[in-house]
Structure formats: structure tokens, C-alpha cells
Amino acid sequence: MAQNITLATPHISAYQGAFAKTVLMPGDPLRAKFIAENFLEDAELVTSVRNMLGYTGTYKGKRVSVMGSGMGMPSIGIYSWELYTVFGVDNIIRIGSAGSYKDWLNVLDVTLAERAVSESTYALTQGGETETELLPDETLNEAIKQQATKLGIDLKMSRVNSSDAFYTKATWQEIAARTGADCVEMESFALFHNAATLGKRAACLLTISDSFVTNKELTAEERANSFNEMIRLALETAISDTFTGINETPAKLADAAVESCKFVENGEVAIVKNGKKYNTEGVAK
């Protein structure tokens, strides 16, 4: 069985096929736990390395995974890269919080990033990317917008500033003017870069947790538990017709073997092909 093979990186350890093709990715691993316990059926904890919790279950009969990313671009950069390259994930929908720079983006509003702008060097360091504005996957964004319409959710489009610093010398007004952004968070730029580099899909849904304009903000407990509208939108997108044939049923997963997958084992690159392990020279391990 494919599930008996464990794929391990320094940051994720899960059996082959543990993750669904679509992963919802909040920053907080406890929010991932909340989603698994309150929205998924038969949710299974599939990884907990460094307490970065990842779960797979079903939503309305279709497999969906949810996993924390941690805070900041280096952290989501690591986890999204490994999910895409080692664990067979095709789609990541970041579901997080953001601070609003605009009076039309109010606390608890749900917003979809139409682009991420950043002064970060993540993309430059990782792959020589010099662009300071990166785009999400168009197909995934369109699917999210369609589901928002069906659900009656007032989804607002925004230009997102992905910041490397939570505390800054510059004022929020200066940063908003410099970046032209509508709100600020700390992860989507790196996620979009990884997805584009690897030929995968990524999108970023955000709930406004605080407003720089009105000074209104949610408590830490509210941040963890009051984003249900955004979560439901992401889940409905994950099982929508856009992904028909991508999200497997549990029965299909149990009999399926990953055709080819590279991972790190004891410091060496190994390859899984048709359920068997090989080294990089093709010798069975």
C-alpha cells in the first residue's frame, strides 16, 4: 500500500499520499486544528513536526488537507515548497489575517489577493526573481470568486503588501503609499513565487483582523476562531467543479501509488516510483 511509505523532510513527515491535492494553509497551526475538528470529517493528523500541524479529512465527501504555515515568508516558503515538490500537492489556498490600509476594508471583511507586492528578497534569493509584484493563479482565483457568489459572500479584491517586518520604523501611511497596497500580511508573495516557479497553483484569502484606519482589531481568540466565512469559502472552492478529478476519494487514494516522487532520507535524496524506493542512480533501497 502506498500509505506505508513515509516521506520525510526536515519539516514534514507524512506517509505517501497523506495530503490531498488541495491544501488550505492558515498561518497558525492551531487554526489548522480548529478547521480539522470543526469542518472536516474523519480528520487525521498526518504531520506534527515542530508542532506545525497538518490534517487530512473529507469535506462533503471529498478529500481536503489543512496545514499551518507559520509566520512570514521564509516559513511558508519552506512548507509550501515541500508540499508541492515532495508530497504531491497541486493547489494551496492561504487562509489568513490581514491589516487594512483602506476605509472600505473593514474588520471581518473577506478579501482575495489579486496581486502581492513586497519589498522582500525571498523570491530574489530563492530563484533570482526581481519582480516586486507577483500574481496568484488565475484559475484558482476565478473559482474562489464563483464560490463567493454562490455563497452570497461579499468578497473584496485587494492588492496585498507582503511584509517581512511586523514592527516597522516607517508609518503605515508611508508603507501604504510606497506599496500602493490595500492591506498587509506576511506570506502570500513567497507562496505565489513558489507556485509559479514549480508550475503549481496558489491563492490567498484573507480576513481583515485589524484596521489601521479605524484602530479596530480582533482579540487573539477571535483571530483563531472567527474566520468561518473565509474557511467555508476556501473549502467550497477546494471541492468545486474546477478541481474535479484532482481531489481523490479515500478509496481511490488507498489503491493509488505515486508514480515518481523525490524526498530526503537520512540526508540523501531518494526517489519513490510505483511504491518502491530508489537512490538517484536507480538502485533499489
Kindly state the cell numbers that stand for 221.
481568540
- Alpha-carbon Rg for the chain in angstroms: 19
Residue 142 backbone class (left: φ over 0; alpha: ψ -120 to 50; beta: rest): alpha
Give the bridge partners for 91, in sequence order.
Answer: 22, 201
Reply yes or no on whether 255 is catalytic.
no
Kindly state the cell numbers that stand for 198.
514549480
Helix ranges, 47-187 (H) = 73-85, 122-127, 138-151, 172-179
Q: Which of 28, 90, 210, 241 is catalytic?
A: 210
Other CB atoms within a 10 A radius of the CB of residue 151 amount to 13
Give the Cα-Cα-Cα angle 201, 269, 75 (nearest 5 degrees): 45
Helix ranges, the chain (H) = 29-39, 73-85, 122-127, 138-151, 172-179, 188-198, 220-225, 228-238, 250-255
Burial class, 161, CB count within 10 angstroms (exposed 0-12 / middle 13-18 / buried 19+): buried
Q: Which residues are catalytic?
A: 210
